[in-house]
Copies of this chain bind each other. A is one copy, B any other.
Amino acid sequence: MGTMTPTTPTPTTPTPTENSLLTPAQARARFRDGLVTPTAGWSDGYAQANLVAVPQKYAFDLLLFAQRNPKSCPVLDVLEPGELAGPLLPGGDIRTDLPAYRVYVDGEQIAEVPDATDYWRSDLVAFLVGCSFSFEAALLEAGVPVRHIDEGRNVPMYRTNLPCRPAGRLHGPTVVSMRPIPASLVADAVRVTSRYPGVHGAPLHVGDPAAIGIDDLARPDYGEAVTIRPGEIPVFWACGVTPQAAVTASKPPFAIGHAPGHMLVTDLRNSTLTVP
């Protein structure tokens, strides 16, 4: 146990960056043109989405898996076979509009590419799943720091020992994202994020990473490690990479996901996702 240094919260009005001021359509155009980067902090005010696309014959299992694991898999929309755009990306193309994609065959990742067009199949059903980036602006407004934004890194994500509730042929572990929070602000972090159940909501777990099977916070399974300062508690939120962990565990014949942290920037306003 380190010394508990009292931390004075700094109410943070995020400094607008060029990326934060882009419209979602402008952001998607950058990625369509080939830019590869994590998307935390892009298009302030708009929801970002995880992607997982599976063949139509797996679509019911995946939708039921999401329904049964709503904290990790809050579905924002589903594009049926042949649909490449929709209300979340009007005029867009789901195959090109994310910064990077992972392609899976029999549960094994065979490629990570900035453009999934060459791998896309006409029978794919694309699930767009809420992302915790949506509540980060609200955390910052409440004076709760978001370390991976401060450090310009991808958020750290970990596979836990918390099994998802299976559905049909799909099973797998819950994946979490982690933000180190000063002990005095943990309650605020819970309170603020509870208002966003459509993008993972309140934390799944506060402190004690070993209890959920995380041995070393410095070695995330996805994304990048961030600094944890004395007096900070690691706080874990369910993560929309969970469906891809289910792909890895359940080995459907084919799937395409986003590269973790490299999200779809959608036209959905975060403000529409709040509850009282």
Contact pick for A168, options B75, B80, B195, B275, CB 8 Å = B80
Binds B, one of A58-66, A107-115, A143-151: A58-66
Q: Nearest Cβ distance between residue A188 and chain B, in whole angstroms?
A: 12
| A67 is an interface residue with CB less than 8 A from chain B | yes
Report B-chain residues with C-beta under 8 Å of the C-beta of A275. Answer: 194-195, 197, 201, 275-276
Q: Does A85 contact B (CB under 8 A)?
A: no
Contact A195 B276 (CB under 8 A): yes
In the bound complex, residues from chain B placing their C-beta under 8 Å from that of A78 are 64, 67-68
Whether A229 sits at the interface, judged by CB under 8 Å, is no
Measured CA separation A78–B195 after assembly (Å): 26
Mark A67-88 against chain B: 1 for CB-CB distance below 8 A, else 0. 1100000010110100000000
> Is A191's CB within 8 Å of the partner chain B?
yes
Number of interface residues of A (CB under 8 A): 19
Residues in B with CB closer than 8 Å to A168 are 80
The residue among A167, A197, A275 with the most chain B CB atoms within 10 A of its own CB is A275
Name the B residues within 8 Å of A68 (CB-CB): 77-78
Which of A59, A67, A194, A197 counts the most chain B CB atoms within 10 A? A67
Q: Mark A34-63, 1 if CB is under 8 A from B, else 0.
A: 000000000000000000000000011001
> A60, A80, A191: which has the most chain B beta carbons within 10 Å?
A60
Residues of chain B within 8 A of A194, CB atoms compared: 275-276
A193 → chain B closest CB, angstroms: 10
Q: How far is the CB of A138 from chain B (nearest CB, A)?
A: 13
Question: Closest B-chain residue to A195, C-beta based?
Answer: B276
A 141-173 to B, binary, CB cutoff 8 A, 1 in contact else 0: 000000000000000000000000001100000
Can you offer 9 A-B residue contacts whose CB atoms are under 8 A? A63-B63, A64-B78, A68-B77, A191-B276, A195-B276, A197-B197, A197-B275, A275-B275, A275-B276
Query: Beyond A197-B197, A275-B276: 9 further Cβ-contacts under 8 Å?
Result: A63-B63, A63-B64, A67-B78, A68-B78, A80-B167, A195-B275, A195-B276, A201-B275, A275-B275
- 6 interchain residue pairs of minimum CB distance: A60-B60, A275-B275, A194-B276, A63-B63, A59-B60, A67-B75
Residues of A bordering B, CB below 8 Å: 59-60, 63-64, 67-68, 75, 77-78, 80, 167-168, 191, 194-195, 197, 201, 275-276
